[in-house]
Amino acid sequence: MRTYLATALFAVWAVVFAGAACAQGSDKLVIFAASSLTEAMNDVGEAYAKTGKPKPVFSFAASSALAKQIENGAPAAMFVSADEMWMDYLSQHKLVIADTRVSFLGNTLVLVAPADRPLHLTIGPNFPLAKSIGTGKLSLADPDAVPAGKYAKAALESLGVWKSVEANVIRGENVRSALAFVERGEAAAGIVYSTDAALTQKVAVVGAFPETSYPPISYPLAIVAGHDTPAARAFRDFMLGDAAKAVYRKYGFAVK
């Protein structure tokens, strides 16, 4: 396992245990959610708190890292993944409550570059990405495990350019790390969700990938086994309600 992944997992545990300690004293829920949902979920949590309920404790990281932590006993009441595969993984291990699983959001992929060094490309079959970045790096979330990276690799393979850029890929532990490489100018380009690109003025969107070039981006949620409580059900209902949907749309997510 790569060093950065081990570090990330340790960080997740640190956040979770700190949050769980607070949660135990205040009946707060601990929610594990994909890093691309950070702002939206925090806003949903604030809206929920305004109804008189405790705001959940959130832990954000790559879906792959969070799923593994749940498998290892992390005290999450709910899991929100950026793809179906990691939810399937927990389902196969009977670690989520089947009748609480629902796919509720979608997203799209975009190519970004540093705002002060924009690229001028039209994304399509065999587009000259490798030529455009030259000896620079292409940042992706880890395509071997992290949903955003897997979607990105699938898009590049579908368009016939993966082999030409593979040697230049720099791997982030999650989609926000991939975005940060571009923001800092450490990568000449990166592939992230459109919702992530919209959060910063430090990158410029080069273009959107054809949605037929990668599997549909789907965010499922489910209550974790052993945590099927009225409080967890109540927050799940709120996450799927109109107030939360307005938040998701504000941040650019497609609401199912």
* Average pLDDT for runs of 10 along the chain of length 256: 42 45 60 98 98 96 98 97 98 98 98 96 98 97 98 98 98 98 98 98 98 98 97 98 98 98
Q: Tell which CATH architecture fits domain 3-106+218-255.
A: 3-Layer(aba) Sandwich (3.40)
CB 31 within 8 A of CB 77: yes
Q: What pLDDT score was predicted for residue 28?
A: 84
Distance of CA 206 to the CA centre of its chain: 21
Tokens 């245990």 locate to 17
Residue 10: its pLDDT value, please? Answer: 43
Number of neighbouring beta carbons within 10 Å of residue 247:
20
Neighbouring-strand partners of residue 167: none
Return d(Cα 48, Cα 55) in angstroms, integer: 6
**Cβ–Cβ < 8 Å for 212, 44:** no
Report the distance separating Cα 205 and Cα 203, nearest Å.
Answer: 7
pTM, 2 dp: 0.89
In the 8-state DSSP scheme, what is residue 27? T
Residue type, 76: A
Fold of the CATH domain 109-208: D-Maltodextrin-Binding Protein; domain 2 (3.40.190)
Establish whether domains 3-106+218-255 and 109-208 are of one fold. Answer: yes
So where are the chain's domains? 3-106+218-255, 109-208
DSSP states along 74-124: ---SEEE-SSHHHHHHHHHTT-B-GGG-EEEEEE-EEEEEETTS------S
What are phi and psi for residue 171, nearest 5 degrees? -100, 125
CA distance 206 to 99: 40
Stated as kind and residue range, the H or E segment containing 255 is: strand 254-255
CA atoms within 13 A on the CB side of 242: 0
Hey, is 63 helix, strand or coil? helix
- Please check whether residue 194 is in contact with residue 106, taking contact to mean a CB–CB distance below 8 angstroms: no
Q: For strand 30-34 and strand 78-80, is the pairing parallel, antiparallel, or unpaired?
A: parallel
Q: Which residue's entry shows tokens 């940042």?
A: 139
pLDDT computed for residue 27 by the predictor:
66
Instruction: Show the tokens assigned to 166.
Output: 């593979």
- Between the CA atoms of 96, 97, 100 and 102, what dihedral angle is there, to the nearest 10 degrees? 40
**Which pLDDT tens digit goes with each residue over 116-148?**
999 999 999 999 999 999 999 999 999 999 999
